[in-house]
Amino acid sequence: MEHTMPLIGDRFPDVEVQSTHGKLSLPEQYKGKWFVLFSHPADFTPVCTTEFVAFQKRYDTFKSLNTELLGLSIDQVFSHIKWVDWIRDTLNVEIQFPIIADTGKLAETLGMIHPNKGASTVRAVFIVDPKGIVRAILYYPMEIGRNMDEIVRMIRAFQTAEQHKVAVPAGWPENELIGDSVIIPPPGDIKTARERTKEHTCYDWWFCHKKLGG
């Protein structure tokens, strides 16, 4: 049976899951908060272990951005618990966020199982906003670990764009052209287009930018 993952802009599917923190109802559990759901191929594997440590090292940063973390794989809860204990005892890192023990149903619904990669979940990331809407989807191959700083950057960028009604450039806040400035949305009429270059810093009427707070 073919499963189609949600698209950007879709509501995250309503599901109840079992996790290392008990039963969770998604996305209702995180209503009013952003959350990052990320899948990993299996517990007790090297790349996944480095990823969980990296996520935990940034957990306070995510929480400061009103964002929760939620892991997932098709391992049972007891496996997750033993792995979390191993990370704590061996690496001195306490994993504080829940890990879903999926039966395969949620992973299939979200398109996390690649048909050419066996029954394991691939490295998928779903960024979900406080209204339960999927805002971004990232996929990594099993053999390459994720860059957690990019996921933090995306959350910051989403929140900045929404708060200030702007867009953010490549590599923000360290863009090669405009640094930490943000991009003003394109004008919707001729009058605004002609006035824009007088009011803002612009390369042209369709490419204007500003410093936040400026």
Residue pair 83/43 in contact (Cβ under 8 Å)? The answer is yes
Active-site residue 48, yes or no?
Answer: yes
Return the residue matching tokens 């892991």.
71
Cis link prior to 13 (omega < 30° from 0)?
no
- 3-state SS class at 163: helix
Residue pair 157/174 in contact (Cβ under 8 Å)? The answer is no
- 3-state SS class at 48: helix
Active-site residue among 37, 48, 72, 112?
48
- 3-state SS class at 47: helix
**Active-site residue list:** 48
